[in-house]
Structure 1
């Protein structure tokens, strides 16, 4: 997903001989990233479930999720239990 919109435009023009606007290329890239990696919103909703699963499998693991006042993700710190024990 390292392609920039200009590179997408170039590839489409070379392969299909079609002119594509920068915004169309940008939107196509955004949609492709969402298909491959999921949305930011989905990731935010599942981060606590993911970290709880990690703690379940390695009970000594600790994590701290910090959000802003309006519930926006700011930072996640974690340390795996086996790493803490050394």
Structure 2
């Protein structure tokens, strides 16, 4: 997740001796992050479940989720 597109390009060139465009490196990074962490939409959909679990473990917890 810490790799920048330029660093991805450098690693691809040194390890596999191929040139990758900045946009391809950026897109590959974005897709890898989505695979590991899921999409923003998926995270938002599970937010209520997460907060319900927090509230059940920590009685007295109050939360309100509002959409913008």
Same fold (TM over 0.5): yes
Q: How far apart, in 2, do the equivalents of 1:21 and 1:6 lie? A: 9
Higher strand content, 1 or 2 = 1
Instruction: Using structure 2 for the length normalisation, give the TM-score.
Output: 0.92
Which residue of 2 is the match for residue 8 of structure 1? Answer: 8
TM-score where L is the length of structure 1: 0.74
Greater RCO, 1 or 2 (C-alpha within 8 Å, sep 6+): 2
Q: What is aligned with 2:30?
A: 30
Partner of 2:18: 18
Q: More helix per residue: 1 or 2?
A: 2
Matched residue SS, 1:63: coil
**Structure 1, residues 7-65: CA drift from partner, whole Å, max 9, x if none?**
10011001000000111101110011011111111001000110011111212111222
Aligned ranges 1:42-57 → 2 under 5 Å: 42-57=42-57
| RMSD, aligned CA | 0.9
The gaps in structure 2 that reach 5 residues or longer are: none
Gaps of 5+ in 1: 69-86
Give structure 1 regions of 4+ aligned residues with deviation exceeding 4 angstroms.
none
SS at match of 1:2: coil
